[in-house]
Structure 1
Amino acid sequence: MGHTARVSAFVWISAGSLAAWLWLLLCQGFFWRTDVRLPPRRDLDDWPSVCVVVPARDEAAVLAASLPSLLAQDYPGRAEVFLVDDGSTDGTGELARDLARRHGGLPLTVGSPGEPPAGWTGKLWAVRHGIALARAREPEFLLLTDADIAHAPDSLRTLVAAARTGGFDAVSQMARLRVASGWERLVVPAFVYFFAQLYPFRRIGRRGSRTAAAAGGCVLLRAETAERARIPDAIRHAVIDDVALARAVKQGGGHIWLGLADRVDSVRPYPRLADLWRMVSRSAYAQLRHNPLLLAGTVAGLALVYLVPPAALVLGLAAGSWATAVCGGLAWLVMTGTYTPMVRYYGQPLWLAPLLPFTALLYLLMTVDSAVQHYRGRGAAWKGRTYARPDTVADEG
C-alpha cells in the first residue's frame, strides 16, 4: 500500500510538472521565442535631439570598450553624452575625458553628483543628475545606458526611428551579455530566458497589457514621458530600477517596447560562478518583495517546473512507473525545446539546452542566498554600497 501511494504521488507530481510546461509553452506570451527585435532602421524626415545619460561607478576596467562606441554614434540629429561619475575611486571620470579627447565624436560632459542622500540608490541618483544636466539642452529623447554597454554605430538611429515610427514612449533592448567563460555559457542564456518568462516581451509591447519591464542597460525614453512619470524621483529607492521605470511609464499611460538586441552588447565579464552569483543574488529577493511566502512559493515552483522532470524520469524508470517516467521525460523535452532558441541566440552548442534543470537549481540557491543576505542585514550590495532594506518595484508610488 505504501509503495503504491508513493508511486501514485510521483505520477501526480510529474503530471503537474508536465501540465505546467504545456501551459508555459502555449499560454505565457510565447516567451521562449527570440524574434522580438527592433525592425530594420527607417530614415526620418527630421531627427530629434537626444541626450545620452551614462551612470558610472568604478568602471575604468570596461569604459574603454564601451564609451567610444557611444561617442562614435552615426546620428543625423543633435546628440551628446553625459557621463555621471558616481563617486568612483578608480579614475573613471578622468578616463572618460581622456577617451573623448582621443576618439572625438559626440560631445561629452562628465559630471559628479556626490554621495546619494538617504532613500536613493547610487545609480538612480547619478541618473537624476545626468537628466538634470541634459534638460538644459531640451532633448526630445533620453538614452539611459550603462557604462558596460557597447553600441553599434547605428544603435541610436535605430532606437529613435523605432520610437518615432512605433509611437513608443520607451524603447528598451536587452543587451547581449558576454558568454566567454564556461560558467557564463551555462548561466547567462538562462538569465535572459528566466527574465523573458517572467516578463514576456510580446505582452510588454501590447497596449492595454499590465506587463511592464525594461532592460536597464539600454532604455530610450521620451523626455516628456520621464518628466510626467517623475523619473527617476518616483523610483529613487528601487533596486530593480529597470522594471520600476517601465511600470512608472506604463502606469502613466505610456507605450513601451522591450526586445532582444542584435548589436548592443555588454562588455562586463563574469568569468567565475561567484561573479554571476553576486549578479543574481543581489536583487533576487527584492524581486520577491522581501516576502517569505513568495520565496517559499518560488522555491516550490522552481522545483516543480525545473527539477521534477529529470528526477521523475530517473525515478520512474527505477521504480518501473512508466507514467511517471513518461510525464517527466515529456516535461524535460518541452523545457529543452523552449530553451533551445535562447541557446541559439547566444551562439552556444545545443547540448547545453538539456542542462537547464542544473542551471535552475543554481538560480534557486542564488535566490535563497539573496534572502539569507537580506535577513543578515547585508541587503543588495553593489560597487561598495549596501542597501540594507531596498524597496521593491511593487512599492513605487
Structure 2
Amino acid sequence: MKKLTLFELNQKIESEKRLNIQFKGCEFKEANDKIYMIKLPKQLEKHKGSLDFDKKLKSALKNLEAIAGQEIVFTNGEPIELEQPESVSIESSVVDGLIKFSASSGKIRNLPVNSMFRLKVDEALIKEIEETKALNNRLLDELKNDLDYALGLILQFETKNKGLISNYYAVVKKDKKFVKSGDAVNLSESTIQSLVLHINKKYKKAFRTSELPTFTHFKEAFMYGVSGQHIKPLHDAQEVVEQFKAMRCKTILGRPAAEFLTKALYQELDGLDVLIYDYTNPRISAYDTNKTLIANAINNFFNKINDDLAQYISNANARRDLIELYSKILCDYYIKGVQHDLDVIIASNMREGKH
C-alpha cells in the first residue's frame, strides 16, 4: 500500500464522507518520519475517560494506519521528541548512577522508558542496589547469589512493548562500541525482576517483566489493609475518600461507593503489570499499563451484574481520574508488599485471625 504524506492523508479524510465524519476535529503533525495524532477526533474525544476508550482509540489508529500506509502515533498531549542522529552515543540517565540507558538505535533520549540499558556486575552495583532499598532481604540475597555467577560481566538488556524486558546478553567494549561477547549468562527471572525494581525506583523508569515479583496477598492487602503496618484498606485511603467526596458519589447499589469498588477490584483484578515509583512525572503515565488492567477489572465486574459505573459516576473525566488514582495507590500497595515482604506479615496476621 502507498505510504501517504500528511497532506495526502488530510486530503483523503476531507474528501471521503465516511472518513470525514469519523475523524472530524482530528489534528496531525509530521515528525521523525512518522505521523502523530495530536488531537483526538470529536467522536473519540467524547469517549475519553470511558472504560472502553483504549479499545476505541486502538481501533481508530488501526483504521488510520490502513489508510495512511504507515504507523500513526497518538501523543496523548505529550510533546513530540525529535529523534537524535544515529551517531549519538548511549546517554546516561538524568539520575547519577551506574546503569546507562538509551534507545537501541541511539535515538530519543531521556524518556521514562528507554529501549535498552547496560550495567556492569560488580560490588559497586550491589552496593547501589542495597542503598536503593527496593528489595526485601530475601530478594536481595537471591539477587546477590545469582549475580555472583556474572561478576565482572557487562550486561545489556533490550525491551519491547512499553518497556517489557525481551532479551539480555553479555557485551564487551570494542572500538568505543559495545558488542556481544561470547560469555554465557543465565539469570533467574527473579533476578531480572529485582533489577527492574531497583532501576524503576532509583532511576525513575517504568521497565517491566512478564511477571512481577510474587506478592501472594496483594489483594488481601488492599481489601483489608495490613494490621501493624499502618496500611489501610483501599477505600479508607485519604486520597480515595477525597476523590469520592469530590465526585459526590456516596453509594453504589445501596452500599458505600468506595468500598463497593474495592470489592469489585478484589474480585476481578488479578494483579499489576508494572511498578512505578515516580508518579510525579506526567510523561510516565504513558507507560502505566496498570490503568488498563484496573479499568477492565471494573468493567468486567459491572458487566457481570448488568450495570455500568457511568450510572453512578457520570463524568467521564472523573472516572478516568479515579482509575489513575487507583493505579497509583494499588502500585504503592504492591511496592510495599515486595519491599517489606508483607506476605510473611499478612500470613502471620491471618493465622492469628486478623488482617
TM-score, normalization: structure 1?
Answer: 0.21
Q: Which has the higher contact order (CA 8 A, sep 6+)?
A: 1
Is the helix fraction higher in 1 or 2?
Answer: 1
